[in-house]
Amino acid sequence: MNNFWFSVPTDIFFGKDQVTVLGKNLKKAGAEKVLLAYGHGSIKKNGVYNDIVSELEKVSIPFVELSGIDPNPRISTVREGAEICRKEGVDYIIAAGAGSVIDCCKAIAAARYYSGDPWDFFTRKATIKKALPICTVLTLAATGSEMNGGTVISNPETEEKLATGSMKMKPKFSVLDPCYTFSVPKDQTAAGIADIMSHIFEQYFSYPESAVQDFMSEAILKTIIKYGPTAIEKPDDYEARAQIMWAGTIALNGLLGAGKDGDWATHLIEHELSAKYDITHGTGLAILTPHWMRKVLDKDNVEKFSTYGRNVWGIEGKDPFKVAADSISATSRFFSSLGIPSKLSELGISDDKFEEMAESALKYNSIGRFKCLSKSDIVEIYRNSL
């Protein structure tokens, strides 16, 4: 296991009606004016907005709003949010929504104290030195953004979608009420499940192997495989939603990847798709993942893939290559069983931009630590996913 520093200063309030901690916590933190930020209105339909406003009213904390944060949140919204925070004297941000809202709020929190253009944080021209405190009220289980310091922002002008991270953007606390996810549509629930599984894969298929992290990963994958279909068939099944929600948070709060060199190839390849075609992140991952697995599987890592097959899917057999191949098919079938498209062409994507996307993916990073991928490898994964 590599050396690591693990620190997550995010308090989690998990369960029914936990939103009632909101006002008290903000008061305790000395908040005097908050920004209430959300997406395109789902929180107004499912009651989350009213719950938050009523908590703020109880403690008499005034707030201003930023609404309309897009899925694949835009840098222009980050600029707008930072300006509101400066002008209105906001001292705390409530991110009420899913990964896109939370990511946008993190970037706004950092941009508030930066005099240049916040896109600089994503192109590595500037580092984050200071950020407003944020808290989250999570409404969709997927990204883990509610308990990590990462943010992913799109820039439609440059057709880029880039990530950055900082301890300073880790939420101070997050409210995780599984009931708030009952209204998530089937396709977004499925995409969220694929995203959670992908986060685990990115850390599980990586070196050095480490029993604690890898067995935990297998346990969480089995939990998702057990409860995911129920969350889709019965959207208001509390236990299924609760299991998936907590799985999503743990999958990307640093625990499973501590002491390991995460791979993250599939994510970086997918971000190109979201950047160019504005597709749902988890849907892109579900399509790419089995093709990434097939591309990287070789004699050096076949044991890892066959362990995955045996421990997660219960696949038996003596030939490790056969078990590995069957485990990849099982992964692919599971995503399809959730109703996720299995081909990029189903999303209206053709091979026009594959070369360009592969180049762009490699612009700031090398891709893949489990297995390093070249430009032609990436193009091949896109083509096989078509």
Stretch that binds ligand NZQ, among 7-15, 175-183, 330-338, 343-351 (CB under 6 A): 175-183
Q: What is the DSSP string of 300-327?
A: TTHHHHHHHHHHHH----S-HHHHHHHH
User: Do the bridges between strand 92-97 and strand 63-66 make them parallel or antiparallel, or are there none, so unpaired?
Assistant: unpaired
Nearer to ligand NZQ, 23 or 192 (CB): 192
Nearer to ligand NZQ, 100 or 174 (CB): 100
CA angle 362, 367, 373 (to 5 degrees): 100
214 binds, among Zn ion, ligand NZQ, none (CB under 5 to 8 A by kind): none
Stretch that binds ligand NZQ, among 98-106, 215-223, 229-237, 339-347 (CB under 6 A): 98-106
Question: Which of 135, 176, 184, 379 is in the footprint of ligand NZQ by CB under 6 A?
Answer: 184
Nearer to Zn ion, 288 or 344 (CB): 288
Handedness of CA 308, 313, 317, 322 (dihedral sign): negative
Residue 267 is a binding residue for ligand NZQ (CB under 6 A)? yes
Question: Which of 18, 136, 145, 217 is in the footprint of ligand NZQ by CB under 6 A?
Answer: 145
Residue 263 is a binding residue for Zn ion (CB under 5 A)? no
**DSSP label of 146:** G
CB 379 within 8 A of CB 336: no
Nearer to ligand NZQ, 26 or 252 (CB): 252
CA angle 132, 135, 139 (to 5 degrees): 140
**What is the rounded CA–CA span in Å between residue 242 and residue 180?**
10
Question: Which of 51, 55, 103, 377 is in the footprint of ligand NZQ by CB under 6 A?
Answer: 103
- Helices (H) and strands (E) counted in the chain, each on its own, are 15, 8
Stretch that binds ligand NZQ, among 91-99, 170-178, 300-308, 314-322 (CB under 6 A): 91-99
CA–CA distances in Å: residue 256 to residues 69, 130, 215, 241: 30, 27, 9, 21
What x-and-dash track marks residues 33-52 binding ligand NZQ by CB under 6 A?
------xxxx---x------
Residues 186-245 that bind ligand NZQ (CB under 6 A): 188, 192, 195
188 binds, among ligand NZQ, Zn ion, none (CB under 5 to 8 A by kind): ligand NZQ
Q: Which residues pair with 164 in a beta bridge?
A: 151
Longest dimension (CA), the chain: 66
291 binds, among Zn ion, ligand NZQ, none (CB under 5 to 8 A by kind): none
Question: Which of 97, 171, 262, 309 is in the footprint of ligand NZQ by CB under 6 A?
Answer: 97
Question: Which of 100, 164, 289, 332 is in the footprint of ligand NZQ by CB under 6 A?
Answer: 100
| Collapsed DSSP state (helix, strand, coil) of residue 65 | strand
Q: How big is the site for ligand NZQ, counted in residues (CB under 6 A)?
A: 35
Closest-approach residue to ligand NZQ (CB): 39
Nearer to ligand NZQ, 76 or 311 (CB): 76
Residues 192-221 that bind Zn ion (CB under 5 A): 195
| Collapsed DSSP state (helix, strand, coil) of residue 21 | helix
Q: What's the closest the beta carbon of residue 191 comes to ligand NZQ, in angstroms?
A: 6
**What is the rounded CA–CA span in Å between residue 145 and residue 253?**
8
Cβ contacts of 215 within 8 Å, gap of 6 or more: none
Tokens of 34: 């908050």
Q: Residue 335, Cβ neighbours under 10 Å: how many?
A: 24
Q: How far is CA 262 from the centre of its chain?
A: 15
10 binds, among ligand NZQ, Zn ion, none (CB under 5 to 8 A by kind): none
Tokens of 15: 């369960």
Positions in the binding site for ligand NZQ (CB under 6 A): 39-42, 46, 71-72, 97-101, 103, 139-140, 142-145, 148, 150-152, 180-181, 183-184, 188, 192, 195, 252, 267, 274, 281-282
Q: Which residues contribute to the site for Zn ion (CB under 5 A)?
A: 195
